[in-house]
Chains A and B, each alone.
Chain A
Amino acid sequence: MSDTRFVNQRAVGTSVLPDEAIPLVEGFGRFLNDIQLPGTYHVAFLRSQHAHARLRSVDASKARMLPGVIKVLTGSELLGKVEPFRSMPNRFSGGESVQHWLAVEKVRFCGEAICAVVAESRAIAEDAVELIEVDYDPLPVVSDPRMGEKDDSALVHDSCTNNYLIKREYERGDVDEAMKAAHLVVKRKFRIGRKQALCLESRGCVAAYRESTFALTVWMSHQLPYVVRHYLGKHLGLHENEVRVIAPHTGGGFGQKASIYPEEFVCAHLALALRRPVKWVEDRLENMVASTHARDQYIELQAAVDREGHLLALSSDIWVDVGAYSTYLWSAGMEPLQTAGLMPGPYKVPALRYRTRGVATNKTPVGPYRAVGRPSASASFELLLDEVARRLEIDPVELRQRNLIANEEMPYRNSNNLVHDHVNYVPCLKLSTSKGDYAKLREEQKKAQANGRLRGIGVSCFAELTGLGTTTAVGPGTLLQPGRDAVTLRLETSGVLTVAAALPSQGQRIMTAMRQVAADELGINLEDITCIINDTATAPYGFGTFASRTAVFGSGAVIKAAKELRQRILACGAFLLGVPVEDVTIANSVIHTLDRGKSISLREMAEKSYFSAKDIPEELNPGFEVTSFYDPKRGSFAAGAHLVAVDVDPETGEVKIVRYVATEDVGTIINPSVVEGQIIGGIAQGIGEALLEEIVYDEQGQPRTVTLADYLVPSALDVPRIELHHANTPSAALGGFKGCGEGSIIGALSAISCAVADALSQRGGDIHEFPATPERVLRGLGVLPGGA
């Protein structure tokens, strides 16, 4: 329990304009590709044209002779020099995958890097790539996880006995008994297509030898600079503190830039070998195959309910197509474990069983992307609940209300072993249905149906565990545990405050949020506070920006450090004013006595403290730099309820969202406008998942979605105006903050999927494969043969 917190002028809770946005809006951002060091060499990769093949030979002789080419690096040259990526072991691990930075002997997915060409320009490097001759010996392709798990399947990794990169079974409570005793058991199968984060800025790095005092400096478009630094040191045989990692302005991350990839590590190796800066910018064609994909699940689930629709048990069987390698850092376990383990969401599920598998295939590896397994899990479960509602003739909202974990029931330990507390599931649903006038929506639906129009309504409720502390793993069984991050607060010689944390921003306005919290905690003017966030040389350890954690960790650590710093400031200030420390406080960057009779500015105090230290007793002048680590121990549940109405055109299958109401519980809000932007952004990505986005491969493992004309993300016409409401309740973490970056994509995919299914159900139609493309909608309606 912390002491009473001093809170000053309430910067927290106001939509402070973010200073950090100014360079971006004026065109003076510094993204990775904007970094131009003299003497830079440019890298392009030769990538595999085959999904699975032995590399009989790689002949780069013509490429090496092209004027302007400095070097062509192959996988065999790296053998023995660098450690390949061995998949992060997981408590429930299946096979181990070994990923060479450049393919040796075999390629396992279309797009896998085979050679790195270093040249004076990117254009020349690409010219050289075209001159490299590769002799491929094609091997059988594994392109479907349910085929890939069969005993007679070809193996993606012949060092493994099968293609399971992860497999886990779990049971709590007696599921079979519950199924027998149930009034109704409903079974459904769903297919959720493959996606990718589609950051507008692709990946990239600049690696430089002795650019500053560090042996190696790497700028990387990445979310986790300290983690990258750790692994660079490990894999390149450098001391970690000889390495500096900087995340420049980053054009989107969403989890895709939180894995460790071979390409950047190749560049770092080249920089050390060539002693020149080496730059690689992933172009969009590369990004479509070289950066991690997401989702790609086959989900079979059954729910048992009683006569009133109360859930008795939930059982699921899940196959995830995790691609050719277990992604370095997070492992192939992320999607399979989260889809299965987090499926209950905010609903009381007394008995739970799941069997989940991550099966290797010859496709791009799957890694974390906004909310990971939760959108697919939630959408499947919500669709199942709607089926229960139809069969029992209970209104879908009513059914959910009966099953949501009520506030009075908290803390509530669910059958997936998560404890729900400090979160507003029912209030969110109530507010969405009241603001959305749910009853009227249903009436309008009936009228529409009478006029031959297909209107559908979907509602979804989600639970989102954010700000995970050390006792709660990001994925059950993963050994990589984020959970403690540090913030340094430093009062500078002129009395301004620096907040430093290794929590880079991809637009979440972390700097602004931490400044707001610091302003309130310390009584320092917002304008006098600067935040630095992206550089391992200037910020203390932080795991990074991931899993909706920066509001909790950054703010929590600021609060902890501020408590100590404030005491020091007041002690020193009191001495300088010649009054007891109980008589002073600080506001608006001025230390003053409570009766306002005496005061000293922070600037004056700082200058005296730094430059006239002899005049102040040492115990009152210990320095004004405080670093605090914060571990919230558990996670903080955020929540939401999304209510969506869609119109389906029964001739074309087009789905239009006609109404979107979202209520979320995101805890104590630091900056309302920033939060709103995060939520709506998440909803937009959910719309993409529900209706537009899909990565398609053919049976030979050849990608068919290769450009932005193939992979469709929502445009300004595809995202309706969102009616956003809040039913916030503080978390138990310091400050009462919660993360808010990921929840809304869950709500969106689920609510829209349910709305489409609801529309189709009025004509006896159905849909179980997503995204709900117009064609799948028509098949679901029976207008085209095949069924969805």
Chain B
Amino acid sequence: MAREQRIQVTVNGRAYDKVVPVRLSLADFIRENLYLTGTHLGCEHGVCGACTVLMNGRSVRSCLTLAVQAEGAEIVTIEGLRAEDGTRHPMQQAFHENFALQCGYCTPGMLITAIELLRENPDPSELEVREALSGNICRCSGYQAIVNAVLAVARQGAAG
């Protein structure tokens, strides 16, 4: 039984066709085969959230997903958040303006989780924001600036 498989996967809008070891995680595939190192590994057991990406529109832990499971899927990582003309995603801009990152290691997962939250709940309370983010560990910021950033984006969205 070969322990490699060919996969075709779209990442940040670009199609890839690669042969990968079956035991390779989606996180390692993105980072090492596609050189998209913006997605980070903090624990490799699903707890810290730094590796969170969107897979077919839903947030998933890329450290708990095998690359071969992404066959045919559409993946979005932090590098794919900017618009085609290069402008930052409003959530990225809000994180920057609200000082919502310090070391930056948790930021990729935080952004993805926050973006999914506002897609499903466009006008969350502060408590709802904190609940949604409670699966993403930040060791630097104490979360306040991150929560401020998410609420700022929600307000912008509400303002149209």
- Do chains A and B make direct contact within the complex (CB under 8 angstroms)? yes
A interface residues, Cβ below 8 angstroms from B = 15, 17-18, 21-22, 24-31, 33-34, 36, 123, 197-202, 249-252, 254, 283-284, 506-509, 673-674, 676-678, 680-685, 707-709, 713-717, 719, 721-722
Q: Is the CB of B142 within 8 A of A200?
A: no
Q: How far is the CB of B38 from chain A (nearest CB, A)?
A: 3
Q: Which residue of B lies closest to A508 (CB)?
A: B102
Q: Which of A22, A198, A507 has the most CB of B within 10 A?
A: A507
Instruction: Give the residues from 35 to 64 in chain B that come closer than 8 angstroms, CB to CB, to chain A.
Output: 35-45, 47-48, 50
- Residues of chain B within 8 A of A31, CB atoms compared: 37, 40, 105
Chain A residues with CB under 8 A of B111: 25
Min CB–CB distance B98 → chain A (angstroms): 8
0/1 string, B59-84, CB within 8 A of A gives 1: 00000000000000000011101100
How far, in whole Å, are A194 and B109 apart by their CA atoms in the complex? Answer: 29
Q: For residue B44, which residues in chain A have a CB less than 8 angstroms away from its CB?
A: 283-284
Cβ–Cβ < 8 Å partners of A28 in chain B: 38, 79
Q: Please tell me if the beta carbons of A716 and B92 are within 8 angstroms of each other in the complex.
A: no
Q: Given A715-B135, A717-B131, A719-B142, is A677 in contact with B102 using a C-beta cutoff of 8 Å?
A: yes
Question: In this complex, what residue of A is CB-closest to B41?
Answer: A33
**B95 lies within 8 A of A709 (CB):** no
Please determine whether A708 and B45 come into contact, CB atoms closer than 8 angstroms.
yes
Q: Once the chains are docked, how many angstroms separate the CA of A674 from the CA of B99?
A: 7
Q: How far is the CA of A11 from the CA of B48 in the complex (A)?
A: 36
Quick check: A27 and B141 within 8 Å, CB to CB? Answer: no
11 new A-B contacts, CB < 8 A, other than A21-B104, A28-B38, A284-B45, are A27-B78, A33-B37, A200-B137, A200-B138, A201-B103, A684-B141, A708-B47, A713-B139, A716-B131, A716-B146, A719-B142
Q: Taking CB as reference atom, which chain A residue is nearest B79? A: A27
Within 8 A of A (CB), among B114-150: 126, 129-131, 133-147
CA distance A250 to B103 in the complex (A): 6
Q: Which of A249, A284, A680, A717 contacts B145 (CB 8 A)?
A: A680
Nearest-CB distance from B131 to chain A (Å)? 6
Bound complex: CA A29 to CA B92 (Å): 14
With beta carbons under 8 angstroms apart, the residue of A15, A33, A508, A719 that contacts B143 is A719
B42 touches A200 (CB 8 A): yes
Contacting pair A717 B130 (CB below 8 A): yes
In whole angstroms, what is the CA distance A43 to B82 when docked? 35
The residue among B24, B43, B145 with the most chain A CB atoms within 10 A of its own CB is B43
| Residues of the B chain whose Cβ atoms lie less than 8 Å from the Cβ of A717 | 130-131, 134
Indicate the member of A24, A201, A683, A722 with the most B CB atoms within 10 Å. A24
Q: Across the interface, do A707 and B77 meet the contact criterion of CB distance under 8 Å?
A: no
Q: In the complex, what residues of A have CB within 8 A of residue B82's CB? A: 26
- Which of A123, A283, A508, A716 contacts B134 (CB under 8 A)? A716
With the chains together, A678 CA to B99 CA distance in Å?
Answer: 11
CB-based closest 8 A-B pairs: A27-B38, A507-B102, A24-B104, A251-B105, A27-B78, A684-B142, A680-B142, A507-B103
Within the complex, which residue of B36, B45, B139, B147 is in contact with A252, where a contact is CB–CB below 8 Å?
B139
Q: Is the CB of B99 within 8 A of A25?
A: no
- Distance between A119 CB and nearest chain B CB, rounded to angstroms: 14
Given contacts A26-B82, A685-B139, contact A200 B32 (CB under 8 A): no
Chain A contacts for B134, CB-based, 8 A: 715-717
Q: Interface centre among A250, A674, A707, A715, by most B CB within 10 Å?
A: A715
Q: Name 6 A/B residue pairs within 8 A (Cβ), A-sorted.
A: A21-B101, A31-B105, A33-B40, A36-B35, A201-B103, A674-B99
**Residue of B31, B39, B92, B105 touching A25 (CB-CB under 8 A):** B92
Specify which chain B residues have a CB less than 8 angstroms from the CB of A254 in the assembled complex: 139
A680/B103 contact (C-beta < 8 A), A33-B37, A284-B45, A715-B134 known:
no
The closest CB in chain B to the CB of A35 belongs to B37
User: Among the listed B105, B136, B140, which residue makes an inter-chain contact with A681, where contact means beta carbons less than 8 Å apart?
Assistant: B140
Structural contact, A200 and B103, CB atoms closer than 8 A: yes
Min C-beta distance of B83 to chain A, whole Å: 12
**A31-B40, A34-B31 as given contacts; A251 in contact with B104, CB under 8 Å:** yes
| A33 CB → nearest B CB, Å | 7
B142 touches A722 (CB 8 A): yes
The interface residues of chain B lying within 8 Å CB-to-CB of A674 are: 99
Q: Tell me if B21 is interfacial: C-beta within 8 Å of chain A.
A: yes
A722–B141 Cα gap in the complex (Å)? 12
In the complex, what distance in Å separates the CA atom of A513 from the CA atom of B139? 21
Chain B neighbourhood of A198, CB < 8 A: 139
A509 → chain B, closest Cβ, in Å?
8
Known A-B contacts A31-B37, A33-B41, A34-B37; A713 and B137 likewise in contact (beta carbons under 8 Å): yes
Q: A121: nearest residue on chain B (CB-CB)?
A: B21
Bound form: Cα–Cα A34–B30 in Å? 11
**Measured between alpha carbons, how far is A383 from B21 in the docked complex, in Å?**
56
Contact B43 A251 (CB under 8 A): no
The answer to whether B143 touches A684, judged by C-beta atoms less than 8 angstroms apart, is: yes
| Known contacts A251-B40, A251-B105; is-contact A716 B96 (Cβ 8 Å) | no
Q: Is the pair B99, A716 in contact by a Cβ cutoff of 8 Å?
A: no
Report the minimum CB–CB distance from B3 to chain A (whole Å).
11
Among A25, A29, A508, A722, the residue within 8 A (CB) of B88 is: A25
CB <8 Å contact, B37 and A201: no
A17 near B97 with CB under 8 A, answer: yes
**A202 to B105, alpha carbons, bound, how many Å?**
11
Check if B43 sits within 8 Å of A26, measured CB to CB.
Answer: no
Complex-state Cα separation, A27 to B136, whole angstroms = 17
Q: A31-B40, A251-B40, A507-B102 are in contact. Are A677 and B140 (CB under 8 A)?
A: yes
CB of A200 within 8 A of CB of B48, answer: yes
Chain B residues within an 8 Å CB radius of A716: 129-131, 133-134, 136, 138, 143, 146-147
Q: Are B141 and A36 in contact (CB under 8 A)?
A: no
Interface pair B77/A680, CB less than 8 Å apart: no
Most chain A CB within a 10 A radius of its CB, from B38, B81, B139: B139
